[in-house]
Amino acid sequence: MLQPDTFQHKGLRQQLVNELRAHGLAADDVLAAIGRVPRHCFFDSGFLRFAYSDKAFPIGAGQTISRPSTVAFQTSLLRVEPQQRVLEVGTGSGYQTAVLIEMGAQVYTIERQRELFLRAQTLLGQMRYRAHFAYGDGHKGLPSYAPYQRILVTAGAADIPPVLLEQLDVGGRMVIPVGQGSQQMTLVERISPTEVRVSTHGSFEFVPMLQGRV
């Protein structure tokens, strides 16, 4: 059952937003979106105190919900505008999906683990967040709805998957952690049909982006 969003939750969430603002790494529209998503609903009720601290946390199936400062940083780098089509690779808990929806994006999200795909789809439905959920390997993207103005990868990729690049619109931005062990947060901007600009934005640790679906 969906947990209520009480004054206590709202207070804790506001504190988290204030902390993230103090870090100075997140854009105002992203902080506003984070302020609206009840993050505790993505946790079992016994783990409330973890929901609003800046930590990654296990979500089952060997995966983690990214820490709020990482969500804030990746989403800020992505620069989402309302109505844009955004492809997210690695649905996981669905928390990042909800943040993107709060920013007004049309979200297409892919997860390779069936258990997580099903759980996130159910939860976001209960929370009245509408997205397109796909079960598959994000290395292949989601060609039926391409091109995307934004692509966000939330697992650590060995390289920039060429198929994802093909699905990125001209003028579009892709944010993807690249590397093994730890990753460089990488921004890929498609500046013309044949050219991209690649820049890196610090070191992070993500669970690996794996092949195939399970």
Q: Which stretch binds ligand SAH (CB under 6 A): 14-22, 24-32, 131-139, 188-196?
A: 131-139
Please, what is the minimum distance in Å from the beta carbon of residue 66 to ligand SAH? 5
| CA neighbours closer than 13 Å in the CB half-sphere of residue 69 | 15
Please, what is the minimum distance in Å from the beta carbon of residue 84 to ligand SAH? 18
Using only the alpha carbons of the chain, give its radius of gyration: 16
Integer angstrom CA distances of residue 193 from 88, 134, 174, 199: 22, 27, 15, 18
What does the block give as tokens for 133? 């959920």
84-113: contacts with ligand SAH (CB under 6 A): 89-90, 92-93, 95-96, 110-113
17-76: contacts with ligand SAH (CB under 6 A): 59, 63-66
Annotated active-site residue in 45, 66, 69, 93? 66
| CA neighbours closer than 13 Å in the CB half-sphere of residue 105 | 30
Q: Which is nearer to ligand SAH, 84 or 96 (CB)?
A: 96
Q: How many helices and strands, by DSSP H and E, does the chain display? A: 7, 9
Confirm whether 66 is a catalytic residue: yes
Does 78 contact ligand SAH by CB under 6 A? no
Distance CA 123, CA 176 (A): 25
Surface-to-core class of residue 187, CB atoms within 10 Å of its CB (0-12 exposed, 13-18 middle, 19+ buried): middle
156-175: contacts with ligand SAH (CB under 6 A): none
Binding ligand SAH by CB under 6 A: which of 9, 20, 77, 137? Answer: 137
Please report, as ranges, the residues that interact with ligand SAH according to CB under 6 A: 59, 63-66, 89-90, 92-93, 95-96, 110-113, 116, 137-139, 154-155, 207, 209-210
Q: Which residues are catalytic?
A: 66
